[in-house]
Chain A
Amino acid sequence: MTGFETARGRSLLIAACTLIISVAFCGLAYASGGGDEGHGGSVTDLLYRILNFVLMVIILVVVIRKTTIKEFFSNRKEEIRKKLEDLKRDKETAESRCNELEKKFKEFELQEKEIIEQFKADGVLEKERIIAEARERATQILAQTDLTIEREIQAARNKLRQDVVEMAATRAEEIIAGRIQDSDQDHLVNEFIESVEKLH
């Protein structure tokens, strides 16, 4: 492990680089400002400035090291990374669920079609059955109706015949009762006696 790989090494490296760059920029600024002025005051001023700057850098480094900004950002980065992973995982789960649901939806559509087809087929069969039953029932009703009509006609005929016979018999009784004579009675009695004799 080299000295740059540790946190302390990296801090020292940053401080050294900062110091070198500062000196370089300070020299450059001094050169551009004209070197013909008094050398003693300028150098002292430059040294103060450098010292001041170095102190500021040191303070910054110490402050930065003491504070948890880096850790904060590191944690934040980790959280974001985890969150991204979770989101990615959730996305994959959702996509998987979506695919599954789409698949099921397609199955449902297929089943729906099958069920509808089955219902249609059953409906056709039921329709045919109902029509056949209705036809059979209609035939039975017609036959029953014909039978009933026939019976009613026969009953009406019988009733009419009975009425006519009754009227005729009543009329016959009236006519016979009005015209019968003693001779007829004698004839009837003799016929009766002859028929009784035949019984013996």
Chain B
Amino acid sequence: MTGSRISKRYAKALLSLGQEDGNYAEYGENLKDFAGLCADNPEFSKVIGNPVFSVDDRKKVLNAVLEKSPFADLVKNFLRLLLDKNRIGGIEDVSAFYTRLTDEISNIIRADIITARPLKDEAMDKLDVVLAKITSKTVKIKVEEDESLIGGLVVKIGDLVLDGSVRAQIEGLKESLNEG
């Protein structure tokens, strides 16, 4: 909880700087890329986040990576700051919070769609429209497949869950029958 709160503060600080120079979207992408790099290379993540190594050594490793990256200078400095403050291990949380904050600024909402079978483009377009209608925001959709749904789909938008799957209908039918 404390780590999340601190990550949120760092994300807000970077966002405020990004809003000032108008590059907050780019900074968000840079953070997301760096978080993805750490996730894909756990050894790198362990080295820069391990306090057993000196800050200088870890910073050398980080700089070596950042010099070859196309990240904005502000983002590079931000990542060095995180390393100095021993918060570089929470880069995924910082990136997630930053994304959420930029989504709020851009009036974007993210929806997870879980479907039993692949959705057709026509259905995706309809879903995009109808979800934008009910949220009054631009919807960014992420689709996953789950055969255990049998048929239909489930939409998750934040805390809102809309379940149109066959499995949910069968569960509802079971509850009705059990209640007699």
Distance between Cα atoms of A200 and B129 in the complex (Å): 12
Q: Which residues of B contact A180 (CB under 8 A)?
A: 116, 150-151, 166
Minimum C-beta distance from B132 to chain A (A) = 10
Q: Say whether A117 faces chain B, with CB atoms less than 8 Å apart.
A: no
Stretch at the interface among A48-56, A88-96, A98-106, A187-195: A187-195
Is the CB–CB distance between A165 and B178 below 8 Å?
yes
Nearest opposing residue in chain A for B180, CB measure = A161
A interface: dominant SS: helix
Q: Say whether B6 faces chain A, with CB atoms less than 8 Å apart.
A: no
Q: Say whether B52 faces chain A, with CB atoms less than 8 Å apart.
A: no
Distance between Cα atoms of A93 and B87 in the complex (Å): 118
Given the known interface contacts A188-B152, A196-B130, A200-B134, the answer about A161 and B178 at a Cβ–Cβ threshold of 8 Å is yes
Nearest opposing residue in chain A for B147, CB measure = A177
Minimum C-beta distance from B128 to chain A (A) = 10
Distance between Cα atoms of A41 and B130 in the complex (Å): 196
**A interface residue count range (under 10 / 10 to 19 / 20 to 34 / 35 or more):** 20 to 34
Is the CB–CB distance between A192 and B162 below 8 Å?
yes
Is the CB–CB distance between A197 and B116 below 8 Å?
no
Distance between Cα atoms of A185 and B178 in the complex (Å): 27
Is the CB–CB distance between A192 and B131 below 8 Å?
no
Is the CB–CB distance between A173 and B123 below 8 Å?
no
Q: Which one of A169, A177, A186, A195 lies within 8 Å of B164 (CB-CB)?
A: A195
Q: Which residues of B contact A162 (CB under 8 A)?
A: 178
* Mask: chain B, 113-124; 1 = CB below 8 Å from A; 0 = not: 001110110010
Is the CB–CB distance between A185 and B117 below 8 Å?
yes
Most buried by B among A191, A192, A196: A192
Count, chain B residues at interface, CB 8 A:
28
Q: Which residues of A contact B115 (CB under 8 A)?
A: 185, 189
Q: Which residues of A contact B117 (CB under 8 A)?
A: 182, 185
Is the CB–CB distance between B164 and A158 below 8 Å?
no
Nearest opposing residue in chain B for A191, CB measure = B164
Q: Say whether B127 faces chain A, with CB atoms less than 8 Å apart.
A: yes
Q: Which residues of B contact A193 (CB under 8 A)?
A: 123, 126-127, 130
Q: Which residues of A contact B150 (CB under 8 A)?
A: 173, 176-177, 180
Given the known interface contacts A165-B178, A169-B173, A176-B151, the answer about A189 and B166 at a Cβ–Cβ threshold of 8 Å is no
Distance between Cα atoms of A172 and B171 in the complex (Å): 11
Q: Say whether B133 faces chain A, with CB atoms less than 8 Å apart.
A: yes
Q: Say whether B1 faces chain A, with CB atoms less than 8 Å apart.
A: no
Could you list 19 A-B pairs, sorted by A, with CB under 8 Å?
Answer: A165-B174, A173-B167, A176-B166, A180-B151, A184-B151, A185-B115, A185-B117, A188-B151, A188-B166, A189-B115, A189-B119, A189-B152, A189-B153, A192-B162, A193-B123, A193-B126, A193-B127, A193-B130, A196-B130
User: What are the nearest 5 A-B pairs in CB distance?
Assistant: A192-B164, A188-B152, A165-B177, A185-B117, A189-B123
Tell me the B residues contacting A by CB distance below 8 Å: 115-117, 119-120, 123, 126-127, 130-131, 133-134, 150-153, 155, 162, 164, 166-167, 170-171, 173-174, 177-178, 180
Tell me the A residues contacting B by CB distance below 8 Å: 158, 161-162, 165-166, 168-169, 172-173, 176-177, 180, 182, 184-186, 188-193, 195-197, 199-200
